[in-house]
Amino acid sequence: MEIKEEKTSDEAQHFLPATQADNLREPQFTSIQRIANESKLEFVLGFCLSLVIRKTDPRVLVWSTGGAETSPSGTDLKSCKDLVATARDRKLNTFVQISVVHPAEQTLTRYSSTEIVEGTRDPLFLTGVTFPPEYPIYEETKIKLTVYDVKDKSQDTVRTRVLSEHKEPRTDVGRNFLGLTTFKVGDLVKSKEQQLTLTLRTSDGGKTVGTIDVSLVKMGEIEEGEVDHITTDVQGQKCALVCECTAPEGISGKDSLPLLNAVLKNPICKLYRFPTSENKWLHIREQMSESTLSFHVPKELINLHIKEDMRRNQDLKELGELAPHWDNMRKNVIAHCEQMLTMYQDTLADLGKHTGSSFKSSCSKGEKTLEFVPINLHLQRMHVHSPRLKDALYDVFTVGAPAAHCQGFKNGGLRKLLSKFEAERRNTGYQCIYYSPENTAKAKEVLSNINHLQPLISSHADLLLNSASQHSPDSLKNSLKMLSEKTELFVHAFKDQLVRSALLALYTARPGCVLKKPTVPRNSVEECGDPQGQDHPSQIQRQNSIPHHSEYDEEEWDRVWTNVGKSLNCIIAMVDRLLEKEDSSSGIKESENDPSSAACMVSHTSGDWYEQLYPLIITLKDCMGEVVTRAKQSMTFVLLQELACGLPQRLMLTLRRDIVFSQALAGLVCGFIIKLHTSLHDQSFLQQLHTVGLIVQYEGLLSTYSEEIGMLEDMAVGISDLQKVMFKIIEAKSNDFLPVITGRREHYVIEVKLPAKMFELLPQEIKEGKQLHVYPVLFNVGINEQQTLAERFGDTTLQESVNQENFEQLKEYYKLFTEKMPPDCLPHFQEQNDLKGLLENLHQNIQAKKRKNVEIMWVAATICRKLNGIRFTCCKSAKDRTSMSVTLEQCSILRDEHQLHKDFYIRALDCMRREGCRIENVLKNIKCRKYAFNMIQLMAFPKCYRPPEGTYGKADT
C-alpha cells in the first residue's frame, strides 16, 4: 500500500518554497467541505492526478492532467520535444513522485508515483493517483510533485526501498532530480474548473524549470448508490469500491456497505488513463482487496469437522458388543480418531488467536497453524469507463493453488495418493470388510439423514398432537402434511441394499456368531443389487452357550422399516376419520346459543382427538426408534471398516483433503458473494443462478515437474470436491453478514446472508430457500522453466488429462445452460453459435500437442465471462505468475472490448505490472517490489508473461 516516511517539520520545510514553508507553522484544520455536486466524485476516486509532459521551450517541463486541452487528438499532448537531459544526447526516462505534507503532524509521506516513461524526450504518462475518501486530507494539506530522470531502470531502487525525502537521490542510485512543486488541496477543490497550473522549481525554490497542470478527474457518471466503501486496517479509513453499473432500484451504498465490509478488507487502488483507437480516453480503476473469508471459512469448516468427528467417535463407542477381533479394531480406530480430533481442535484454537492481516502471505505456505487458510487470496477488480460504451467491471480472484504444503509432495498429491490408497485397500479384506468409496459415502448420507430427519419427525408428531388437543382442523391438516413428507423421506432412505447387507455383516461381528469358514465375509456392497448371490446366512451358526442370539433373519429388517410407513398410514387414516366426523357433526353449531354446553362439547371432542391419535404417534416413534438404532449401528460398522483399512493413512488422507478443500472453499465463497453482489440488478443472471447454477473456472499456472506435480494433483481434487457445495441465500436478521456453513464432508450448504432490501430483489425461488449449484472446472497450463523440462524430458499426462476431464464438465454445463435458459440471456452474444465456436476452439487447443499452449487459458476465461461465471487465477503462491496472467488478461480485455490503442498495448501492460496493484501484492507478501523471476527463468516464459525490466530479481519467496 502506501510507502510512508514521517519527517520532522524542518525536514518537511526543506522541500518547500519559503512562502509555502511558512504556512506550515500555523496549520489550519478545516476539513474539505463536500458540495452537493462534488460529494459523489470524492467518494468514488478521491483526488486523481493524471500527469502528462507537454512542450514549451527547450528548458521547460510542462505537466498536464486532463481538462479541455488534454484530448489525445492534440499533438501537444502526445509529444514533448527538446527536453533537456542531464547528459548530452541521452533520452530521458522520467517519472513523477507524489508525496503528501500533513499539516497536523507537519510530516511528509511518500504516497505514490507514476510509471517510468523511458527512452524519449516526449513522454506520455498513463498512471494516475487515487486518495481514499477517508484519507487524512484537509484543505490545508499540501501535495508535493517531484520529477525524476531514471538513468537505468534495472538499477533504480526507488521502487524497492524507501529513500530519505530530504536528500536528492545520488546519481549512483540510478536517477536524477529534475524539479518539484507543491499545491494546497483546498486550492484544487475550490478552483473554477478544478484544475491548477503550477510552477516546477529546483530544490532550493529559486530556479523555474517548467509548469504542471493538476486536475480533479471524475471516473464516469457516478449515481447515488453506485459506490460502496470497504474498511481498511486503519481505523475509519475507507476506499471506494465501484460497482458494475447503477445500483438496483431501491438499493443504496449504505444498504450494501455492511455486506462488503463483512467480506472485503484493505483495498489498494490504482488509476490509469489510456488512449483508444478513436482518440478518446479510457479511464481504468484497478483495485485489489483482501477477504476476511480467508480465515472465517476455514474456522467454520474445522468447527464442522470437529462436530462431525465427535459424532462418529460416539457412534463407534455405541456400536455395541463386538467379537474380540472387531472390538480391538474399534479401539484402535477410536484411538487414532481421538488424536486427529485433538489436532483439529488445536488448529481451530490457533486460528482463533490470529490477529492482523486478513490474508496468508506466500512466505507462510509452510506454517502449520495456517495450513487450512488459502494463500494470498485477493479480489482483483478492473473498472473501465469508456467514452462511448457502458461502464464495465471485470473481477478475477487470485489465490495460491489449494495444496497441502505442510504435508509435502514427496509421494505426490491427492489425485495420486487417493488412487494408490484405494487400490491397496481392496487387498486388505483379510483384516476388514471392503466397501467401495461410493458405499462409504452412502453410509455417511444415511447417517446424516437419520440425524436430520429423526428430530424433525418427532417435532412434527408433537405438533400434530398439539393441533389435536386444540381441536384445530386446519392446523391438523398442515401438521399431518409435514409429518407425512418427512416420514416418507425417512422410509425412502433405508430402501438401499447397503443397509441390509451391513446389518448382516454386523451380525457376524457380534459375540456368539461364528462362521463355518475361517475367513471374514467380504461383504462388498459394490455387488449390491444381487442379494440372492449372498450366502452369508448359511455361513452363520449360533452358539448354544449364548441363548440371546437367534438365527439371523434377513426379512426382519424389511418388516422393521416398513412398520414406520404402516404406522404413518394408520395416523393418516385416523386423521381422515376425525375430520369426517367433524364435518358431519353439528353438535357445536346447535349449541352456539348455550356457551356452557359448547365449552363442554369442545372439551370432550378435543379429548377424543388427542386420545385417539396419541397411541398411534407413540407407535410411530417406537418403530422409528428401532429403525434408527439398527440402521445407525450398521452404517457405523461400514465406517469402521473404512477407517480400519489403512490406518493411519486413511486419516492422514482425510486431513490432507480437508486442508485442500478448506483453501478452495474460502475462495469460492468469496467469489460467490461478490458475484451475487455485483449482479443483483441482472435478472438474467438471477434466473441462471437458480435454474442452472454458476460455472466457476480456475486457471492454473502450475508446471508438471517436481513438487508442482503434487500441487496440481491436490488442486485438481480440491476443486473437484467443490461440486459437493450448495449455496442458499437467506435474509440477514442481524448485523452479522458472514456466511454460515452447515452439512458434512460429503455435502455442504453455504448460507449467504443479504440485507433485507437486497434480499427482496431475489427471485421467489431463491427467497424460498432453493439450493444453488456451482460447477467448478480447472484448466492448467504450465509456463515456467520447469514446464520446459517437463515437456522435453518429463511427462505432461497429468495436465492433459485434467484439461480434458474438465472440458467435458464444461460441455455438460453448456448443454444444461442452453436447455434451460433462453438465448437472449447470454451476455454480449446474440447467437449461441459464438459460444459453440469458442468451445470447439478450446477442444482443439486441448487436443493439440503444443507446448505451453496458453491459448487454452485465454479461451476458457472468455467462455467463463460469457457464461456469467466466476474467474480464478492460481499459481504456487498467486504472486508472480498470477500477476503476469491477471495483468495480461486486463490489457487484453481493454484491447478487445474497449478499443485500447494498439500502440499503447505494451505500454499499458508494462504500466500495470510496474505500478499497478500486482506489484503491491508482491510487496505485501515478501516486503519487496520485485517479482521472483530471474533472466534465465524468463527466457522460458511465453513473451507476453514476462515482466518489464527492473521489476524482477532475486527475492525471498
Distance (Å, rounded) from C-alpha 632 to C-alpha 626?
10
Among candidates 685, 657, 650, which has minimal Cα distance to 868? 685
Distance (Å, rounded) from C-alpha 300 to C-alpha 124?
50
φ, ψ for residue 551, nearest 5 deg? -60, 135
Catalytic residue positions, numbered: 875
> Under 8 Å CB-to-CB from 906, ≥6 apart: which residues?
none
3-state class of 132 per DSSP? coil
Pairing of strands 725-731, 49-50: unpaired
**Residue pointed to by grid coordinates 445452460:** 817
Distance (Å, rounded) from C-alpha 951 to C-alpha 909?
13
**DSSP code per residue over 756-797:** HHHHTTS-HHHHTT--EEEEEEEEE---SHHHHHHHHHS--H
pLDDT of 893 reads 96
pLDDT of 522 reads 40
The C-alpha cell that represents 126 in the structure block = 498513463
Residues of the chain short of pLDDT 70, as ranges, are 1-90, 121-123, 133-134, 152-173, 217-256, 428-430, 513-554, 585-607, 825-833, 955-957
pLDDT of 432 reads 82
Distance (Å, rounded) from C-alpha 154 to C-alpha 948?
10
> Under 8 Å CB-to-CB from 899, ≥6 apart: which residues?
276, 277, 278, 282, 386
Measured CA angle at 50 (ends 44, 52), to 5 deg: 170
**DSSP code per residue over 486-501:** HHHHHHHTT-SHHHHH
Distance (Å, rounded) from C-alpha 341 to C-alpha 303?
11
Q: Residues 318, 322, 324, 326: what is their CA dihedral angle, to the nearest 10 degrees?
A: -80
Please check whether residue 336 is in contact with residue 651, taking contact to mean a CB–CB distance below 8 angstroms.
yes
Helix axis angle for 707-721 and 649-678, nearest 10°, is 60
Q: Amino acid letter at 139? A: E
**Residue pointed to by grid coordinates 487454452:** 856
Beta strands in 895-938 (DSSP E): none
DSSP letter (8 states) at residue 461:
H
The C-alpha cell that represents 898 in the structure block = 474497449
Please check whether residue 907 is in contact with residue 916, taking contact to mean a CB–CB distance below 8 angstroms.
no
Distance (Å, rounded) from C-alpha 698 to C-alpha 810?
12
**DSSP code per residue over 349-399:** HHHHH--S-SSB-GGGTT-GGGTTSPBS-EEEEEEEE-SSSPPEEEEEEE-
3-state class of 427 per DSSP? coil
The C-alpha cell that represents 223 in the structure block = 449515481
Distance (Å, rounded) from C-alpha 523 to C-alpha 505?
7
Distance (Å, rounded) from C-alpha 218 to C-alpha 272?
12
DSSP letter (8 states) at residue 509:
T
The C-alpha cell that represents 752 in the structure block = 449467504
pLDDT of 91 reads 74
Measured CA angle at 617 (ends 616, 618), to 5 deg: 90
3-state class of 524 per DSSP? coil
CA distances from 456 to 462, 492, 554, 693 (A): 10, 15, 29, 29
3-state class of 323 per DSSP? coil
DSSP letter (8 states) at residue 279:
S
**CA–centroid distance for 897 within its chain:** 26
pLDDT of 418 reads 94
Terminal-to-terminal C-alpha distance of the chain:
19
The C-alpha cell that represents 534 in the structure block = 449372498
> Under 8 Å CB-to-CB from 294, ≥6 apart: which residues?
358, 359, 360, 373, 374, 377, 666, 670
Please check whether residue 781 is in contact with residue 701, taking contact to mean a CB–CB distance below 8 angstroms.
yes
> Under 8 Å CB-to-CB from 416, ≥6 apart: which residues?
710, 713
Q: Residues 318, 321, 327, 332: what is their CA dihedral angle, to the nearest 10 degrees?
A: 20
Measured CA angle at 729 (ends 723, 734), to 5 deg: 135
- Number of other residues whose CB lies within 10 A of the CB of residue 329: 21
Q: Is the peptide bond before 648 cis (omega within 30 degrees of 0)?
A: yes
Contacts 24+ apart (CB under 8 A), 243-247: 243/393, 243/677, 243/678, 244/391, 244/392, 244/393, 244/678, 244/679, 245/390, 245/391, 245/393, 245/681, 246/681, 247/223, 247/681
Among candidates 242, 290, 281, which has minimal Cα distance to 43? 242
φ, ψ for residue 200, nearest 5 deg? -90, 135
The C-alpha cell that represents 683 in the structure block = 435478472
3-state class of 472 per DSSP? coil
Please check whether residue 373 is in contact with residue 352, taking contact to mean a CB–CB distance below 8 angstroms.
no
DSSP letter (8 states) at residue 117:
B
Distance (Å, rounded) from C-alpha 702 to C-alpha 873?
11
Query: Which class for 492: exposed (0-12), middle (13-18), buried (19 or more C-beta within 10 A)?
Result: exposed
CA distances from 216 to 229, 321, 434, 605, 631 (A): 20, 80, 72, 81, 71
pLDDT of 86 reads 55
Please check whether residue 361 is in contact with residue 925, taking contact to mean a CB–CB distance below 8 angstroms.
yes
